[in-house]
Chain A
């Protein structure tokens, strides 16, 4: 599934039934009874609309396939984030920057950069959804970038990078990807520290924005209290390149001995390359394993930690090819927690007993559904799977549910053995030592 708090939905009925609780397997149900409309506009923009008139708000999102460190041969850390922020903060020909428009409408604008994609999302009251679609597409399809916008973007990006560098799961994911992949967007990572952000120029940002933010490279996602007709409000742009950026296949490195890196936080990370997004059974199996082992409070690893003062998180990130299974361990007792994690991963290759499996799958389904209650969460789901090249498999739809319903203890165990059986990439993050008082004086 998408990284972080993502989404999905599925076999409500099957998952809700503990072993023996119901005599017959009820039919599968999708996450939402209101359908999605998907297509491509004449300008080449892909769109996905999922209306739910009972929602109090609407989400308008633009997703782009674009490397976090730019298209150039030399990575420019933080470029996709800074470029997207700069466009939002610059004054377009309409006169009002998107950031200010969102503020004036009481909306929430968020911009997120992932290794191979970037998203711009506005959560807004339903009456202003069409206006945001017009403004957002006009601003990004023909991007205006000015010095004032860049300055604001660099400030925000530097702050974000600094903050995320102290977040153990974020820092570990970047570090693990840099070890697990030889080159490309995954290797380059998404955390950009203030010095790198400050080095980006207006020319860098303009060149990136012109290439990345074209209509043909865009996915417009509308969810919540919107109508399908709102897509027609999207701007177009004549003369822009008419094809989307290609999907990038990442080359996995052969894991070597554990590595150590200087960081802002102390943590240990383990990473495995997972299946491609098209291997839906295996990808769903790894989603399930991540949930069963690492779900906060309820995951089996969390419960096994006992009185240890350690934080453990784990997730499967469904990238195009390959995906990434990553585990983060931090806290004073991190070393003591590591064998517990390794043991749990090894045990995942042993089929669970049917009753435990049914309960774990029920909990998995619920948490997926629970992470898709708001328009913003749903927009994240559709946008992620669209840019990764398998929108039909987005966990908000029937297909994911059917795949999940077909999982068995044996299927899951086989996926664990295949993808989590090999030695992981292991990275230990060590905080840089502060100068001693003697040296300071």
Chain B
């Protein structure tokens, strides 16, 4: 990573680290916390993500959905004049959203570069002293309930959630948004306690992308400073349940038109030396399920695809098959044959070269929007990596050898679990 002469007032630059292939992220000290700044002056907007170590992993045994409820409630705070914070941000020409992951929750603020400080001031107000009263929680539960219902309609999402619950232990394995019944059980005091316990400034950092300048500097500092002082008593850590020699078969029924099969594998995390080879393997697996097409097939019309959960360490890679477009049994058989073959002996150099080329191209398109680019930096930092770790992956893919692929196929892709999302039985069905 390269340290740029970022125009952050009253800040101290940190020493340079490794330089990324194309990215160049500056690290700026915000009085103990850090801002990771990757500027794109070609855009008019600035995106700032506040990463807080208050993700799913922080949830206790009876706290399913609490991380999401707290984050949603923060977003539902009101300004000093009583306007919902998201409306106030929108009225000033910006947007505010959040997402909950296993190891962090992130709040993403986007707006015009020269007024992002004004937007951040509104968000800071919400983060500094959130009110978790009954009305706020009721609204937050309703919003989460709608999102849960949306996710329930997506069979891929349902299958991936089942496999996540099966693979990850503790809070990290709980449904990301909880369930309607688990959310109903939380009182304001529960929400307040979670916020007080995990929303510490000492664990937080921000990433800044797009057009940057004095306003983004002010905004970054304000967002961090708004959080309560202190850090969590212990670092976030995620543990997993190893896959067995025989695949676990998880079955559910939903209102879907066709059966979906979702297969989950343990996978190397972003910082793992095997990560680049696993990306090549991802490309290879995806191609097995592709049909010839005159264009890149839109997601909705694909027979299958993959989702690499490298937002968590250890990671999980899932592969889904749309039973309405391809015979699930045939799809699984084809995948199984490819994996066994890849593990048994090295693929030819020509084949590996072809898939490496494609994997490198796909990696370049992995994170394009400001939100994604901001996440990319923060996700690496949250996992203890260089802020430009993702940018260094391209060169690493180029160095993958047939032996690397064979090792990864053998180590990670021979054991898996399977989730089946089946249509509900109709009358007489």
Contact = CB atoms under 8 A, between A and B. Distances in A.
Given A34-B41, A106-B360, A163-B300, A16 B118 contact: yes
B91 A363 contact: yes
Contacts, number: 166
Contacts of A88: 294-295
Interface in A15-62: 15-18, 21, 26, 29-34, 51-57
A30 B111 CA distance: 14
A103 interface: yes
Given A105-B361, A106-B363, A107-B361, A12 B113 contact: yes
Contact of A16 (B112, B295, B363): B112
Contacts of B358: 103-106
A111 B354 CA distance: 25
A126 B139 CA distance: 45
B52 interface: no
Contacts of A26: 114
A366 B364 contact: no
B50 to A, nearest CB: 19
Nearest to B362: A106
A263 interface: no
A357 B22 CA distance: 42
B401 interface: no
Contact of A56 (B22, B41, B93, B118): B22
Contacts of B42: 32-34, 51-55
A125 B362 CA distance: 8
B95 A370 contact: yes
A88 B295 CA distance: 7
Interface string B93-118: 11100000000000000111111001
Interface string A105-146: 111111100000000000111101000000000000000000
B296 interface: yes
Interface in A153-190: 153, 156, 159-160, 163
A338 interface: no
Interface string B367-381: 111100100000000
Contact of B368 (A56, A85, A149, A153): A56
Nearest to A154: B294
* Residue picked from A16, A107, A374, most chain B C-beta under 10 Å: A16
Contacts of B394: 125
A267 B31 CA distance: 56
B5 to A, nearest CB: 16
A286 B359 CA distance: 43
B92 A99 contact: no
Given A54-B42, A125-B364, 8 more contacts: A13-B115, A106-B364, A125-B365, A366-B110, A366-B111, A369-B44, A372-B43, A375-B368
Interface of A: 9, 12-13, 15-18, 21, 26, 29-34, 51-57, 85-86, 88-89, 99, 102-111, 123-126, 128, 149, 152-153, 156, 159-160, 163, 225, 298, 359, 362-363, 365-366, 369-370, 372-376
